[in-house]
Homo-oligomer: A and B are copies of this chain.
Amino acid sequence: MQPGQMAYDRASTVFSPDGRLFQVEYALQAIQMGGTAVAVTYDTGIVFVAYRNLPVSALAEAGSIEKSFAIDTGLGCVTAGLIADSRVLVEFLRVEAQRHRLTYGEAVPYTLLGHSLGTLLQQYTQFGGTRPFAVSLLLGGFRGRVPGLLELDPSGATIGWKAYAIGRNRRAVADYLEEKMPERPTEEAAFKLAVGGVAEGSPTPFQPEALDVAILEPDAELRRLPTAEIARRVQGMPFIGSPERKNASR
């Protein structure tokens, strides 16, 4: 922490002398504390894979911790950060998508939807009495039938990607993705790359049920893979650890 930083870090409505908004930076820090999430585009779709920070207990319903969300036909996203903040943003995306559909009679372009969400996120960095959302989000959709991804962070900024990572160790995972990304990946290659990326971001091996995997194709709802299917497809991958008891530190 820089000297004097504490004088400017309690509100989104205050710039530091060097023009920084510390509360936005601290929200990014909160996101780093959660699991890694990765999205990879392939020729005809997008694979979303996220690590579920779930308690290691046979009694927990793994499926109840959702990291990937269907928004509308051909629209989906994966999130990293605070669970309850994510829920609010996903609800916003769903309502916006329906509003556009009702108004214009067609699905909302994912970039337009992403910019609407970016504008919402920006409000929480400029007005007092609130805090930024502690969520990063990869929004996926199609331009025609070409898949695309838009990354959103707590500042409300947006960047487009072919493949990217959010959450824990996102920079290392992004480097991994860039290095390993094939020219024109198939769904299988994209799946493997995405799972590999999440493994890269995780400090320890994990069980298949720790993965939330979803696949988005045009003209269809996001398809979340059942645990059994995930288990089958990741079989033999090196990063799948043997079950071990870990303290559920939510």
List A residues at the B interface (Cβ < 8 Å): 1, 4-23, 26-33, 54-55, 57-61, 63-65, 82-85, 87-88, 91, 111, 115, 118-119, 121-122, 124-134, 148, 150, 153, 155-164, 171, 174, 177-178, 181, 247-248, 250
Known contacts A29-B17, A30-B15: A157-B82 contact under CB 8 Å: yes
| Assembled-state Cα–Cα distance A60/B14 (Å) | 31
Known contacts A59-B177, A119-B91, A157-B84: A16-B26 contact under CB 8 Å: yes
A222 → B minimal CB distance (Å) = 17
A194 → B minimal CB distance (Å) = 13
Partner of A163, one of B59, B155, B247: B59
Contact present for B19 and A64 (CB under 8 Å)? no
A223 → B minimal CB distance (Å) = 19
Partner of A128, one of B5, B31, B126, B129: B129
Contact present for B128 and A130 (CB under 8 Å)? yes
Copies of this chain in its oligomeric complex: 7
Contact present for A181 and B129 (CB under 8 Å)? no
Partner of A60, one of B15, B21, B161, B171: B161
Contact present for A131 and B32 (CB under 8 Å)? no
Contact present for A59 and B178 (CB under 8 Å)? yes
Contact present for A111 and B23 (CB under 8 Å)? no
| Assembled-state Cα–Cα distance A184/B55 (Å) | 21
Query: Chain B residues with Cβ under 8 A from A13's Cβ?
Result: 11, 129-131
Known contacts A27-B19, A61-B161, A161-B61: A131-B9 contact under CB 8 Å: no
Contact present for A156 and B87 (CB under 8 Å)? yes
Partner of A57, one of B18, B27, B30, B178: B178
A72 → B minimal CB distance (Å) = 18
Query: Chain B residues with Cβ under 8 A from A111's Cβ?
Result: 64
| Assembled-state Cα–Cα distance A43/B22 (Å) | 45
